[in-house]
């Protein structure tokens, strides 16, 4: 049994391919890699890729990708160069459209190589799609460094893929009950742990304390904030930083701590003991995040056992 204090094998944090980032600026090496008949391309469209019935991704030789399709270099493994191609609806229609599945749906069942490549491909695709123009002068930028930067032809400014850090945290009270909440836009009964974006100039640990106060009205003891692991969440461009923390010692040890939801992001919040959570989950009174999410893993980590299968809400 593992003794690591961190969450291991988070579904979207797995990857095996060496990113070989030093080749991105080497246009000669990139041209050779593209011309290599053993190179493989992963076509990506709107967060999805074509999959086999065995839940493996379908890769194509580079010759199958039209010359004007934007591509990015993903890395190298066992002598094979991997690229992704940002394809359109027409391409999907011509390539077994029924076989295309979204990363959210298949991320947890892919092997580590495929999971790592698709997460990166989807994250890059989302960035290219939404960052087409120079933030300084407004003109259209060019894709550079094998898909890893965009450069402005007017002022030569270089722009990098954007990743937004977000904290996600399981908060406990003095009797080790867990704080779960429902977002305003979720169906009744759907519950998860609290989460929120790290603000400019803020540490991740401070964001855990601030978001818990804002969303549920609970004061966290900053000395108990403990990092448990991270995974990319390219929906569209987050990095989820997982934490656990305990409520402030100012609260009474006997009574349940009152919760005050903000009503804007969080509609309902509730403390659960382990047995309350398992009972409510088995009775399908509540539904919890699916195994692909770090939220699921934080809950299981606290619970000390797998969640009932019927509990997942997506």
Yes or no: say if 298 and 193 are a contact pair by the CB < 8 Å rule. Answer: yes
- Does 137 interact with Zn ion (rule: CB under 5 A)? yes
Q: Give dist(CA 180, CA 259) in Å, integer.
A: 11
Q: Binding mask 166-205 vs Zn ion (x if CB under 5 A, - otherwise)?
A: ----------------------------------------
- Does 152 interact with Zn ion (rule: CB under 5 A)? yes
- Does 264 interact with Zn ion (rule: CB under 5 A)? no
- Does 155 interact with Zn ion (rule: CB under 5 A)? yes
Measured from the CB atom, is 136 or 284 closer to Zn ion?
136
- Does 136 interact with Zn ion (rule: CB under 5 A)? yes
Q: What are the residues facing 84 on neighbouring strands? A: 42, 72
Q: Mark residue 224 as left, alpha or beta (left: phi above 0; alpha: psi -120 to 50; beta: remaining).
A: alpha
Measured from the CB atom, is 95 or 159 closer to Zn ion?
159
Using CA atoms, how far residue 192 sits from 106, 162, 163, 176, 220, in Å, is 20, 26, 23, 16, 18
Yes or no: say if 108 and 292 are a contact pair by the CB < 8 Å rule. Answer: yes
Measured from the CB atom, is 66 or 154 closer to Zn ion?
154
Measured from the CB atom, is 46 or 159 closer to Zn ion?
159
Give which of 298, 311, 279 is closest to 179, Cα–Cα: 298
Measured from the CB atom, is 139 or 283 closer to Zn ion?
139
- Does 154 interact with Zn ion (rule: CB under 5 A)? yes
- Does 134 interact with Zn ion (rule: CB under 5 A)? yes
Degrees to nearest 5, angle at CA 302 with 300 and 303: 60
Site residues for Zn ion per CB under 5 A: 134, 136-137, 152, 154-155
């Amino acid at each position: 049994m593992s003794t690591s204090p961190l969450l291991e094998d988070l579904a979207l944090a797995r990857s095996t391919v060496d990113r070989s980032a030093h080749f991105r600026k080497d246009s000669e090496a990139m041209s050779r890699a593209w011309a290599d008949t053993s190179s493989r391309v992963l076509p990506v469209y709107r967060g999805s890729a074509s999959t086999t019935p065995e839940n493996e991704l379908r890769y194509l030789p580079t010759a199958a990708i039209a010359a004007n399709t934007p591509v990015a270099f993903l890395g190298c493994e066992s002598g094979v160069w991997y690229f992704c191609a940002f394809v359109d609806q027409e391409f999907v229609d011509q390539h077994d459209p029924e076989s295309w599945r979204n990363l959210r749906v298949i991320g947890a069942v892919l092997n580590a190589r495929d999971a790592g490549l698709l997460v990166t491909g989807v994250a890059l695709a989302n960035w290219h799609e939404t960052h087409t123009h120079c933030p300084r002068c407004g003109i259209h930028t060019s894709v550079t460094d094998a898909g890893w930067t965009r450069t402005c032809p007017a002022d030569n400014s270089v722009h990098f893929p954007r990743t937004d850090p977000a904290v996600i945290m399981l908060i406990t009270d003095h009797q080790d009950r867990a704080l779960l909440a429902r977002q305003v836009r979720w169906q009744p009964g759907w519950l998860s742990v609290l989460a929120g974006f790290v603000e400019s100039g803020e540490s991740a640990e401070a964001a855990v304390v601030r978001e818990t106060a804002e969303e549920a009205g609970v004061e966290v003891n900053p000395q108990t904030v403990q990092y448990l692991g991270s995974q990319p969440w390219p929906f569209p461009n987050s990095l989820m930083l997982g934490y656990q923390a305990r409520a402030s010692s100012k609260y009474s040890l006997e009574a349940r701590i009152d919760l005050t939801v903000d009503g804007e992001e969080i509609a309902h919040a509730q403390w659960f003991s382990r047995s309350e959570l398992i009972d409510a989950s088995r009775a399908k009174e509540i539904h919890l995040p699916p195994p692909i999410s770090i939220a699921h893993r934080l809950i299981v980590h606290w619970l000390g056992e797998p969640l009932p299968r019927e509990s997942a809400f997506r």
